Every structure is written in C-alpha cells, then in structure tokens.
Amino acid sequence: MAHSVVHRTKRLFSSIALDHAHEQVNAVVKGKGGAVGLTENPATLRIWIVAGPELARMVEEFEEVISASESQNHHESKPAIQSAFAKDVVNLVPSFEELGSPVKEVGEDLIALHSKDVMNEEVVQTIRTRRATIQSFP
C-alpha cells in the first residue's frame, strides 16, 4: 500500500495517488498551451517527446528546492495561530455560560451569539437566500 502514493513534497499529509502524480507530470510537460496539434507536426512532436520529460524533471527539482525552504508543518500548527485559537475558545466559553448555548435555542429567530440580539427579517432573508445559493452548488 505504501507504493500506491507519491510524496511530491516533504510536508506531512501531502501524498497523492500515482495517477494524480502522473497527470501533474503530464501537465508540466505539456505546459500552458497543452499538447494540442503536436501530432500534426512531426518535428514539434519529436522536440516535445525528447525535451518534455527533461523540462518536467527540471521543474520538479526547482519545486523541491523551494519546498525544502518551506516549513514542513501544517500552516495552522504554528504557535501564534494555535495561541490565537486557544484564546478565541477561552473567550467564547464565558459567552455560552452567560447567554446560554445557541444550539439549545428553539425557534425561527436568528440570534447573534455574543449579544443574543434577534436579527430583523431582512437579515434573516439574506442569510436564507445565501444558504440556498450555496447549497445549490454541485
């Protein structure tokens, strides 16, 4: 099972399936213009067949050098982000204790978490419209 994925970077949880890696290499080899029309011109096709894989190798080497200089941790595992998240959680708990849990609220009203203010019908309708629009996306 370990050979069914490719590790394109040294970052944790960044492995991709072999077929996905193959498609990425093909995309690099083809470049922006793609491979459209290559088969119609034998000279261009030969150049692409010979130089394409080498160009892909060079691009991959460049990306490895760039990724080696980047952190190997997830971008949200930095101490400052973790500290800010913990602070937000600590600040939210007293609001729940003071105002009650918004999950336990029953009714059709839209209530602000921090103040328990009931939103007017125009705000509620806007939220419902946005939610319906988002849910209609595939």
The model's pLDDT over 22-81, given as tens digits with 9 standing for 90+, comes to: 777 777 666 666 666 667 778 877 877 777 778 778 878 877 776 666 656 677 778 888
Domain-embedded: residue 74: no
**pTM exceeding the 0.95 threshold for the entire prediction:** no
Residues 64, 9, single domain; the answer is: yes
Structure tokens at 114: 């921090």
Q: How many domains does the chain have?
A: 2
Q: Which residues pair with 15 in a beta bridge?
A: 7
Residues 14, 65, single domain; the answer is: yes
Residues 63, 84, single domain; the answer is: no
Residue whose structure tokens are 């040294």: 10
Domain-embedded: residue 62: yes
Enclosing domain of residue 45:
2-69
Q: Which carries the bigger pLDDT value, residue 62 or residue 122? A: 122
8 Å CB contact between 38 and 100: no
